[in-house]
Amino acid sequence: MVPFGHQEDRMEQGRPHAAVPAQADARGEHVHEAYERPARRVPQRYSVRGQVLDALRKALVSGELTPGEVYSGPVLGERFGVSATPVREAMQQLVLEGAVEVVPNRGFRVASRTARDLAELAEVRALLEVPAVLRLAGAAPAGCWAGLRPLAERAAAVAVCGDRAAYAEADRAFHAALLALTGNRQLVLVAEGLQRRTPATDLTRDAAEHLVLLDALASGDLARAEDVLRRHVHG
């Protein structure tokens, strides 16, 4: 168990935490009481809440937090070596992002995405990102796309490793940098929120599409760029 290093939230170190099976409540729903996997070390420059939020996001993407299951603040706090307060604060942010929902007096349930949910989210992403990128492509110099290639190559390298949490971060970095060229900060924020709710299913294909998109934009082939981007956001 690796605590996040905040003095007031630090728990006794060196004490192993045994995994406890999920228990069913009166309604038959399962509440997870502990984890087997150790917490990841996070850079100290972040606040405890920020560290916990990053760790929770990675756990959601990697599948360590299971859709439909309920997790309590105190138990997650024990898992990360902090008090329940920063966990609850981080979870409230995830509620706003649509990743979890509050279960009164019990904790937080990880959201389950139906096929319709994913299709609707992808449609909204396409409505935002495709016109923005095409407008940008019509005005930006061809050389501006070269600056995005290292990010696309980084995502491709991570995709080969199969690390979904690391790929999600690399993928968001690419899209954020692409949309940042529009100069619209709100577009970047909204698109990032949608992207968090629609993780890639095929990492290598998703990463390869970044490079194809950049090639199309650099060559001025806007029809191809639009086709690739639409397919990309729909997964």
Confidence band for 39, pLDDT divided at 50, 70 and 90: very low
CATH-assigned architecture of domain 7-110: Orthogonal Bundle (1.10)
Is CATH 1.20.120.530 the right assignment for the domain spanning 115-233? yes
pLDDT at 69: 93
pLDDT at 80: 87
On the question of pLDDT at 114 being above 70, the answer is: yes
177 vs 48: which has the higher pLDDT: 177
Q: What percent of the chain has pLDDT over 70?
A: 80
- Provide the residue ranges of all domains of the chain, joining segments of one domain with +: 7-110, 115-233
| The length of the chain, given as a count of residues | 235
pLDDT at 143: 83
Helix/strand/coil (H, E, C) string of the chain?
CCCCCCHHHCCCCCCCCCCCCCEECCCCCEEECCCCCCCCCCCCCCCHHHHHHHHHHHHHHHCCCCCCCEECHHHHHHHHCCCHHHHHHHHHHHHHCCCEEEECCCEEEECCCCHHHHHHHHHHHHHHHHHHHHHHHHHCCHHHHHHHHHHHHHHHHHHHHCCHHHHHHHHHHHHHHHHHCCCCHHHHHHHHHHHHCCCCCCHHHHHHHHHHHHHHHHHCCHHHHHHHHHHHHCC
pLDDT at 46: 53
